[in-house]
Amino acid sequence: MEKPAIEGGSPVRDTKLFYGHQYIDEEDIAAVTAVLRSDFLTCGPEITKLEDRLCALTGAKHAVAVSNGTAALHIACQAAGIGEGDEVVTTPITFAASANCALYCGARPVFADIDPDTYNIDPAKVEEKITEATKAVVAVDYTGQAADLDPLLSLCRARGIVLIEDGAHSIGTRYKGRPVGSIADMTTFSFHPVKTVTGGEGGAVLTDDDELYERLSLLRAHGITRKESLLRHPSHGGWYYEQLALGMNYRMTDMQAALISSQLNKLERFCARRREIVERYNEAFGRLPQIRVQKEIAASDTARHLYLLRLVPERLRIGRKEFFDAMAAENICCNVHYIPVYYHPYYEELGYQRGICPIAEKLYEEIMSLPLYYGLSDKDVGDVICAVEKLCAYYGK
Ligand SMILES: Cc1ncc(COP(=O)(O)O)c(C=O)c1O
């Protein structure tokens, strides 16, 4: 049975509000149904159209559309030549996929702590973790704010390390005026339904590097090519292809690609509305001593994916779990992004222990993600604020 809301059991709203939700309009539906009536459901023209679109949006030279963001990270690591015995430095405050991509390749993820204000991976901590075995850094644009890419790039360039930017949260974000996707050696996107732009599932890798692009294209589809310039043997005829590497089937369907392209038509609107909601939250929560507002990164012109409500434990009589449950009792269903990756039993079994990244671990104890998506009405946003204010007044000290 659900717990009643505080103060006489009357929640701030009657219907549940979830932390994320896709926005699909008639144009999106028409784009997908047009594909269903066409000749190609996969490997068709919508894929190239989307890839060209992503290049135009980000300024990257190449884009490779894939089935999801995890696949994008996997082939990015493979294309970077990561293998057995290598190390990949990443943040613990991320979805497990940002570290799993190293494990898929037989490499070891190494966790570097986060900046206490921006919550993105701290370049100084990354430097401390670099060894002879480090082959890549996976920097996550957490909540949509760009990681501190300039110092990370200098670190990586000086040592021949590949910088992979996990931009699952940050499509539309600019770092020092440059769009995410055009800065790191490779940038990956996710088009999962809670992200700013969705294809149901979907992902992409962006790069300026021609060789990485060739490898990514091969790895997406079984390692198979029909490109004459890449064939090792004379062609046997019009049907001929060769497998040059052990790739996967990570192809995106044309239905996904058409939906993502249609969603990209609304990207500016999506980002602007998210920004508006973030500003309303920041303004309201900036007044509450029980809440610590996430610092806006000056270098990042952010398209925000997540809004973090960070509690100040010293000013509250209840902990994060109780606050989270109390929000649910108000019909505001939050989430927590993220459990530090190395807390997961799978990572424990690999020998990771708690205490590696104390700043990240403390952050995890104090946060929850509030509803943030394009379709939230002003009243919805008001209800969220009202619930937080109500709980802070009731449980504050
Ligand atoms: C930071 C981050 N990286 C990678 C992924 C994986 O993306 P996908 O769910 O599209 O595989 C996600 C998805 O939640 C994510 O948030």
Ligand 1, atom nearest to 192 Cα: 10
Ligand 1, atom nearest to 70 Cα: 11
- 34 and 258 in contact (C-beta within 8 Å)? yes
How far apart CA 315 and CA 246 sit, in angstroms, is 55
Ligand 1, atom nearest to 191 Cα: 10
- How far does residue 96's CA lie from ligand 1's centre (Å)? 8
Ligand 1-lining residues (CB < 6 angstroms): 68-70, 94-95, 97-98, 140, 166, 168-169, 190, 192, 203
- How far does residue 341's CA lie from ligand 1's centre (Å)? 13
CATH topology of domain 26-264: Aspartate Aminotransferase; domain 2 (3.40.640)
Query: Which of 19, 68, 91, 95 to mutate to test ligand 1, by most ligand atoms within 8 A of the CB atom?
Result: 95
Tell me what pLDDT residue 1 has.
Answer: 42
Do 6-22+267-395 and 26-264 agree at the fold level? no
Q: Which segments of 301-357 does DSSP mark as H helices, in order?
A: 320-329, 345-349
- How far does residue 94's CA lie from ligand 1's centre (Å)? 8
Write the residue with the smallest CA distance to atom 7 of ligand 1. Answer: 69
| Assigned token pair, 136 | 């890549």
Q: Parse the chain into domains and list their residue ranges.
A: 6-22+267-395, 26-264
Q: What is the CATH number of domain 6-22+267-395?
A: 3.90.1150.10
Tell me what pLDDT residue 3 has.
Answer: 59
**pLDDT tens per residue, range 4-61:** 567 667 999 999 999 999 999 999 999 999 999 999 999 999 999 999 999 999 999 9
How far apart CA 395 and CA 387 sit, in angstroms, is 12
Query: Which of 19, 190, 205, 250 to mutate to test ligand 1, by most ligand atoms within 8 A of the CB atom?
Result: 190
Write the residue with the smallest CA distance to atom 10 of ligand 1. Answer: 69
Q: Which amino acid is at 120?
A: N
Query: Which of 75, 121, 140, 192 to mutate to test ligand 1, by most ligand atoms within 8 A of the CB atom?
Result: 192
The secondary structure of residue 232, as a DSSP letter, is S
- 72 and 188 in contact (C-beta within 8 Å)? yes
- 80 and 226 in contact (C-beta within 8 Å)? no
* CA-wise closest residue to 200 among 258, 266, 243, 117: 258
- One digit per residue, the tens of pLDDT, for the chain of length 397 reads 455 567 667 999 999 999 999 999 999 999 999 999 999 999 999 999 999 999 999 999 999 999 999 999 999 999 999 999 999 999 999 999 999 999 999 999 999 999 999 999 999 999 999 999 999 999 999 999 999 999 999 999 999 999 999 999 999 999 999 999 999 999 999 999 999 999 999 999 999 999 999 999 999 999 999 999 999 999 999 999 999 999 999 999 999 999 999 999 999 999 999 999 999 999 999 999 999 999 999 999 999 999 999 999 999 999 999 999 999 999 999 999 999 999 999 999 999 999 999 999 999 999 999 999 999 999 999 999 999 999 999 999 9
Ligand 1, atom nearest to 194 Cα: 14
- How far does residue 203's CA lie from ligand 1's centre (Å)? 9
3-state secondary structure of 320: helix
- 91 and 73 in contact (C-beta within 8 Å)? no
How far apart CA 142 and CA 93 sit, in angstroms, is 8
State in Å, rounded, how far the first CA of the chain is from the last one: 29
- How far does residue 190's CA lie from ligand 1's centre (Å)? 6
- 171 and 303 in contact (C-beta within 8 Å)? yes
